[in-house]
């Protein structure tokens, strides 16, 4: 059976696959601002690296519609193999 494009279940546009991983951002010590919003205590938190964890545990595999007007995202129920299909050079 030939490979076929993964299509959005809502609009039919092509869809991409994303691996959802477990991770966290450590903003450091926090304060409650005068407006009641919790914020990082130190300004240096604004320049922190984006990833603070190993991010090695996969939480799930999602499909995401490539159509910007749709943007539908859903949990992929089929098995995902990160290797390109045999005979497909693209």
Per-residue pLDDT at 41: 82
Residue span of the structural domain in which 42 resides: 23-56
| Structural domain includes residue 71 | yes
Q: 46 and 32: one domain?
A: yes
pTM of structure: 0.62
Q: 52 and 27: one domain?
A: yes
**Count of positions (residues) in the chain:** 90
Report how far residue 72's alpha carbon sits from residue 13's, in angstroms, rounded to the nearest whole number: 10
Q: 38 and 48: one domain?
A: yes
Q: Which residues contact 7 (CB under 8 A, 6 or more apart)?
A: 13, 14, 15
Q: 50 and 66: one domain?
A: no
Per-residue pLDDT at 29: 79
Report the domain count for the chain. Answer: 2
Per-residue pLDDT at 75: 96
CA angle 83, 61, 90 (to 5 degrees): 30
In tens digits, the chain (90 residues) has pLDDT values of: 578 899 999 999 999 999 988 877 777 778 888 898 888 887 766 666 655 556 578 889 999 999 999 999 999 999 898 887 666 655
């Amino acid at each position: 059976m030939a490979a076929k494009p993964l299509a959005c279940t809502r609009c039919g546009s092509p869809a991409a696959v994303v691996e959802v991983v477990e991770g966290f951002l450590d903003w450091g010590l926090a304060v409650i601002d005068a407006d009641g919003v919790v914020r990082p205590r130190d300004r240096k938190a604004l320049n922190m690296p984006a990833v603070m964890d190993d991010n090695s545990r996969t939480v799930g595999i999602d499909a995401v519609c490539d159509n910007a007007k749709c943007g539908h995202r859903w949990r992929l129920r089929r098995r995902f193999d990160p290797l390109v299909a045999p005979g497909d050079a693209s």
